């Protein structure tokens, strides 16, 4: 569903993490604006399928297998995008995610459970490092590579994907929460840094949406809501999870130079009121 139309004809939009559910949806929506899409993901099969779907519907896209944690991989893909589609006008940094090795089983420390559950003291160093790298470095490195195409041009922007975790950390996922807080901070830093180049840098902070990454945490094997889901919905004034399509309006607003030409350095929550509710 497209909430309103914008014209991105002949602009090149690079999307990292395009194989994931959020950026897959973003790519399909943007493909209807006339933009040329570079679909980047470590999962080549996922973006090849997305490329096929978009192009069959009359869009223009090209899939690339890319490791956002490798400058060499990004440089190679950057050159390929230049050859295939042209220089990047808009970068959407959608690569990110969590890892079970960086997640605790308990919400609150209980010394009586030390041998029964995975606590803060059992978090895996490599798992934590992976989460920080994937989210933060996986945003910084693509921006280093692709923003060079935007220098000296008009109508260019970077859109990062933050999270409600960046405002108030959720229990169990300390590394992911901290990494997303870093994304929000980095977005503001970029906006100031690129002020002389008129490259707008903003972020979207989704609230709670059901994805492959969190589905097992939100629902049991019978498809019933877990206790964590009940807590989330009780603290979301709209009392439901968001639909991925409900992010498109905010995305298009930030993409549109006509609509948001004086907007940079902001992080927009799309959360059903979660950030506004104190729990009382």
The set of catalytic residues is: 176
Chain CA centroid to CA 44, Å: 18
Burial 82-105 (b: 16+ CB within 10 A, else e): eeebebbbbbbbbbbbbbebbbbe
User: Mapping DSSP to helix (H, G, I), strand (E, B) and coil, where does residue 161 land?
Assistant: strand
What tokens were used for 224? 């019933």
Q: How many helices (H) and strands (E) does the chain have?
A: 10, 7
Across the strands, what pairs with 13?
37, 90
CA distance linking residue 11 with residue 24, whole number of Å: 18
User: Considering all CA atoms of the chain, what is the largest pairwise distance in Å, rounded to the nearest integer?
Assistant: 61
Q: Which runs of E-coded beta strand occur in 179-263?
A: 200-206
In the sheet where 267-270 sits, what is the strand order?
Answer: 60-65, 36-41, 12-16, 90-93, 157-161, 200-206, 267-270
């Amino acid at each position: 569903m497209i909430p309103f139309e914008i014209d991105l004809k002949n602009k090149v939009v690079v999307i990292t993490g395009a194989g994931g559910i959020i950026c897959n949806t973003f790519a399909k929506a943007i493909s209807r604006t006339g933009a040329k899409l570079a679909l980047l993901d470590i999962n080549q099969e996922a973006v090849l399928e997305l490329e096929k779907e978009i192009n069959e519907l009359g869009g223009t896209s090209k899939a690339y297998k890319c490791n956002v944690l490798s400058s060499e991989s990004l440089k190679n893909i950057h050159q390929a995008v230049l050859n295939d589609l042209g220089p990047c006008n808009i970068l959407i940094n959608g690569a990110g995610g969590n890892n079970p090795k960086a997640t605790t089983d308990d919400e609150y420390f209980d010394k009586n459970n030390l041998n029964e559950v995975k606590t803060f003291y059992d978090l895996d160093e490599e798992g934590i490092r992976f989460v920080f790298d994937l989210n933060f470095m996986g945003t910084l490195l693509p921006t280093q590579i692709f923003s060079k195409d935007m220098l000296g041009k008009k109508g260019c922007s970077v859109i990062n994907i933050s999270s409600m975790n960046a405002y108030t950390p959720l229990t169990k996922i300390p590394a992911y929460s901290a990494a997303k807080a870093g994304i929000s901070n980095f977005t503001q830093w970029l906006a100031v840094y690129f002020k002389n180049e008129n490259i707008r840098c903003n972020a979207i902070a989704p609230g709670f949406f059901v994805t492959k990454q969190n589905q097992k945490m939100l629902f049991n094997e019978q498809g019933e809501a877990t206790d964590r889901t009940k807590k989330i919905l009780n603290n979301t004034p709209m009392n439901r999870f968001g639909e991925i399509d409900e992010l498109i309006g905010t995305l298009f607003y930030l993409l549109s130079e006509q609509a948001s030409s004086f907007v940079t350095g902001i992080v927009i929550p799309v959360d059903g009121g979660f950030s506004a509710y104190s729990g009382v």
